[in-house]
Amino acid sequence: MVTTPLTPRVNTAKGLVDRTIFSNQEIYQQELEQVFGRCWMWLGHESQIPNNNDFTATYIGEDPILLTRDSKGKLHAFLNMCRHRGNRICRADEGNAPSFMCTYHGWTFATDGKLVGVPGYKEAYFEELDRSQWGLVETAHIGSYKGLVFGTWDKNAPTLEDYLGDSAWYLDLLVDRREGGSELIGGVHRWVMDFNWKFGSDNFGGDNYHVPISHGSIGLAGMNRNPRGAGMAEQGKDRFTVYAGNGHCITSGGSTAAVNPQMLNSAPQAGQEGNEYLRSYPDELKARLGEVRARQQALGIGTIFPNFTWHSSPTVRIWHPRGPFKTEIWSYCLVDKKAPAEIKNIMKRNYIMRFGPAGTMEQDDANNWSQSTTIGKSPRAQKVQLNMQMGIGHEFTNETHPGVLGHAVSETNWRGFYGWYAKMMDAPSWGSVKLDPKTTNKW
């Protein structure tokens, strides 16, 4: 494959990005190999496949994937493709089955990927087909971080723990706030929009700059904390943008408030039991995750490079690329597993209201990203660089939050995201990629 050098197009020192990375077909094909074909990719949550022989379908880039828990309870991720003539072996989104039979010629595969059935094995193949060599194509590695399942095609990829690096410190506030961990509820919302996948990934990695502008009407309606016209100092109070290394970018709350302010949006509907649940966070958080994160509480916003994101709505989602100009969004509601049913319903309503397909904030964002993508197709626009200079020279570190920090209204995290993107696109192999230093061992 002919590769396009990306480092000259992404100048993080000057905060300039060549907008062809959002529109060039050759660059997109390179992304599928160099980024989606190498990185640890989010495949789902263990709560989707709790029982032996459970399965759920997803994607790595444009590769259809079956995530399974085999008959012995082991996790697997396979290319959803029969090894005979390349047909999709499973067309269901999820379910429980001991095996998958291809509807073309009947080759059958167990949930551990082994080829267990071949029609005409004796009569047509004369028992000469080595079935052990024709099982499903499996990812090189699979791993789970507190219920979040990731996989990679690259056998030389670093461990999942090393890849997550400092982002794990922040992820814990999403998936490990309470005993029992987290779970996905209410299925998955899916829709396709006309924008490049990177717009969603970088925005959910933390863009406080757009909130009082793009979402100003929501603030005026009392549905968001930052009304239109809020000053940058007020908008960024007690919050940071974080580059957590290895392309992962986050906006983190540093609030000293007793209750997560994002969840207080729903508190009036929660009733006495719900309010008591919300107010009980600090004690258990302090015991589980330490005093700093207990004070912080908020789930925050973040992106695990390249395309797994979360938002305190609470939503987690994956931005599946469908060419340089389209993205298929898969969005879920994630809650504490042992939360009362009433609280789970409140969180689900909060998620749907803000970031479901018809969510109030979702519409604002999708319009911005679609317009940016459409305009980026024009010949003249492709000659113009994009500005990501906010906060250059004002990055800092501190003793409370791991990673490289910026003011809440800065683009420190974006420069980290696109700098890592260029590194992955240009590196010939994982062996030539140096992971960013990890500092979470301090905590």
Find which of 10-14, 256-260, 336-340 is predicted with most confidence, using mean pLDDT.
Answer: 10-14
- pLDDT value at residue 192: 96
Confidence of residue 328 (pLDDT cuts 50, 70, 90): very high
**What pLDDT digit, counting tens, does each position of 341-356 carry?**
888 888 888 888 888 8
- pLDDT value at residue 263: 43
- pLDDT value at residue 267: 39
- pLDDT value at residue 270: 44
Which residue would you say has higher pLDDT here, 357 or 100?
100
Confidence of residue 219 (pLDDT cuts 50, 70, 90): low
Query: What average pLDDT is seen over the chain?
Result: 88
Which tokens hold the place of 16?
Answer: 């300039």
**What pLDDT digit, counting tens, does each position of 282-304 carry?**
678 888 888 888 776 556 789 99
For residue 388, is pLDDT > 70? yes
Q: DSSP class of residue 137?
A: -
- pLDDT value at residue 257: 44
Whole-Å CA distances, 121 to 99, 105, 113, 124, 130: 18, 12, 18, 6, 10
**What pLDDT digit, counting tens, does each position of 227-280 carry?**
444 445 554 556 789 999 999 999 886 544 444 444 444 333 344 555 566 666
Task: Please tell me the distance from the alpha carbon of residue 369 to that of residue 363, in angstroms, as a whole number.
Answer: 10
Q: Could you give the percent of the chain with pLDDT greater than 90?
A: 65
Backbone angles phi, psi at 11, to 5 degrees: -100, 90
For residue 389, is pLDDT > 60? yes
Backbone angles phi, psi at 85, to 5 degrees: -120, 10
For residue 438, is pLDDT > 60? yes
pTM confidence score: 0.93
Helices (H), strands (E): how many in the chain? 14, 21
**What pLDDT digit, counting tens, does each position of 29-54 carry?**
999 999 999 999 999 999 999 999 99
Task: Please tell me the distance from the alpha carbon of residue 231 to that of residue 247, in angstroms, as a whole number.
Answer: 29
- pLDDT value at residue 210: 81
Q: Which domains does the chain have, with CATH numbers?
A: 41-143 (2.102.10.10), 165-442 (3.90.380.10)
**What pLDDT digit, counting tens, does each position of 146-181 carry?**
999 999 999 999 999 999 999 999 999 889 988 899
SS3 104: coil
